[in-house]
């Protein structure tokens, strides 16, 4: 089967183009798919403001750093307000998923919900 991969300007795959006959097989097979159980969570409707996303993209920074920049704070300012060090704030911003207690402190400072600080 000949599959064409369409990539973005960074070379990352974005789309796969498959022959129409393969597409039809996939569509027809959907009746055989199993439903996956899902339990709703309180975070389902949490969103991040467009301004934060724009900062992340434009400045190539993490979600935590984007919130800090959005609130016009330096890492030093955050450290001082939370009684920690600038290097600790830097580590938080480099983390994929900061601890719950850290998210709660930062959320209070950034005036957002802790869920909005989870990438």
38, part of any domain: no
Residues 85 and 64: their CA atoms lie apart, in Å, by 16
- pLDDT tens track for 47-106: 899 999 999 999 999 999 999 999 999 999 999 999 999 999 999 999 878 899 999 999
- Cα separation of 80 and 85, whole Å? 7
Residues 58, 107 share a domain: yes
Residue scoring higher pLDDT (13 or 32): 13
Tokens 């209070």 map to which residue? Answer: 108
Is there a domain that residue 45 lies in? no
Q: Is residue 43 predicted with pLDDT exceeding 80? A: no
Task: Please indicate, yes or no, whether residues 19 and 61 belong to a single structural domain of this protein.
Answer: no
| Residue 2 belongs to domain spanning | 1-30
Q: For residue 117, which of 42, 47, 60, 69 has the smallest C-alpha distance? A: 47
């Amino acid at each position: 089967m000949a599959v064409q991969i369409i990539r973005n300007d960074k070379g990352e795959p974005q789309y796969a183009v498959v022959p129409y006959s393969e597409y039809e097989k996939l569509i027809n097979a959907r009746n055989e798919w199993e439903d996956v159980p899902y339990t709703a969570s309180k975070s389902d409707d949490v969103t991040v403001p467009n301004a934060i996303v724009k900062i992340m993209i434009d400045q190539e920074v993490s979600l935590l750093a984007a919130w800090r920049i959005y609130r016009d704070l330096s890492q030093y300012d955050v450290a001082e307000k939370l009684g920690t060090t600038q290097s600790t704030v830097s580590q938080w911003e480099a983390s994929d998923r900061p601890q719950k207690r850290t998210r709660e402190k930062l959320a209070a400072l950034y005036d957002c919900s802790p869920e909005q600080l989870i990438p």
